[in-house]
Amino acid sequence: MNDKDLDGPPERMASAMPSLAQARETSESHPAELNRILRSASWRIIDIRPAHSFRNGHYDDSIHLPGDTWRRCPYLLPPRRRRICVLAGTEDQARAVANALGQSGWAHVCHAVVPESGGTRNAPSGSNLRTGRTDLSPASELADSPLRTGAPRTVLWEPAPWLAEIAGQLPKDGDALDLACGSGRDAVWLASLRRGMVYGVDILPDALLRARALRADARAVLAARSVGSDGPPEGVNRERAPHLTNVRFHQADLTSSGGTARWLAPSRWNVVLVFRYLDRALLPRIEASLRPGGHLVYQTFLVAQRERKGSPRSDNHLLKPRELETAFRSLEILRYEEGDDEEGNVFASLWARRPESASAPPSAP
């Protein structure tokens, strides 16, 4: 239905999960520089060691994707513009995954080896940790870094940056809909900030399986943090954390009368999200589904995307300039932009609100 599952957006789940914010360029040519990678806010750390090794000792703000899990679960990875450091038990494993990530579009990848330390504890040793980039620059030793035991306490996936910029101004109560939700990142992230329910709908069963898996991963992270000394991260709705009980995923065909009747009923939603999806026949129904005062957050591709990236190819999935703004002109347009994002995609981005006193617009037949 969309390609949200492969290209993560550039803003972290910062206000809902522990975050590694943007920072400076980092060189791996010296032990102190590698130490900064594992402490730095600019690098995302993926630990691919076995579960017992990770539980016995891992670096803070790292996620655990053992073996080739990262291939099966790309929705858990950070956006391609982010810097990644891969930690593994052997040089061959670390280098193979780092090179594969580089070939898959991540431009900045380094790798580090955490050798077996003997005994029952397989904790990383700062004096033995070595690193190299995917360009095979010389390895260097790492100064000591603090370790954690137990489950991961962070996520590396991110919501759409357009949503991240606006979310703090959206209603916290009432129901929200994520239309064509894909792997569910936006729905789960928004749910962590709200008291009201968030429903993600998609026609693809595989997308919904990924969304539920991502929700489970986020629940585990919030649970690990809630029982620790840190408590729930700043911004998380503490009434819901750590269980994320307010986000659910459903399969729906919105081109059918039953699908539209259930999910786009008039005056149904306080918030509607639509990202990387376009069905022009649904635009009037989307508008009509907003409650008075309800918010619409919409972002999808312009025709220039086809020239830039080659897809989507069909005009049915590409907006003309200003088309999105015109389609929702009866709403109060709070913000509208057209242009490139940091990964070279060309978007039309809209944030609008249905006036409190407005009557429901006529929906499409």
Question: What are the sequence ranges of the domains in the chain?
Answer: 31-148, 161-353
pLDDT at position 324 is 98
pLDDT of residue 315: 92
What would the two tokens of residue 68 be? Answer: 């080739």
pTM here is 0.80
Give me the percent of the chain exceeding a pLDDT of 90: 57
CA pair distance 125, 129, nearest whole angstrom:
6
Closest listed residue to residue 183, CA positions, set 268, 72, 285: 72
Structural contact between residues 185 and 158, judged by C-beta atoms closer than 8 angstroms: yes
Q: Encode pLDDT of 17-68 as tens digits.
A: 332 222 222 233 334 555 555 556 678 999 999 999 998 888 878 899 999 9
| CA separation for the pair 108, 155 (Å, rounded) | 19
Tell me what pLDDT residue 221 has: 87
Pairing of strands 247-251, 198-202: parallel
| Amino acid symbol at 252 | A
* C-alpha distances in Å from residue 51, one per residue of 58, 122, 255: 10, 10, 43
Cβ atoms of 42 and 26 closer than 8 Å? yes
pLDDT of residue 71: 93
CATH T-level topology, domain 161-353: Rossmann fold (3.40.50)
Residues 6 or more apart whose Cβ sits within 8 Å of residue 98: 84, 86, 109, 110, 111, 132, 133, 134
What CATH number does domain 31-148 carry, 3.30.450.20, 3.30.1520.10, 3.40.250.10, 3.40.50.300? Answer: 3.40.250.10
> β-strands 198-202, 269-275: how paired?
unpaired
Contacts of 46 (CB under 8 A, 6+ apart): 62, 63, 65, 70, 77, 84, 85, 86, 87, 97, 156
The low-confidence residues of the chain, meaning pLDDT below 70, are 1-41, 115-146, 227-242, 358-365
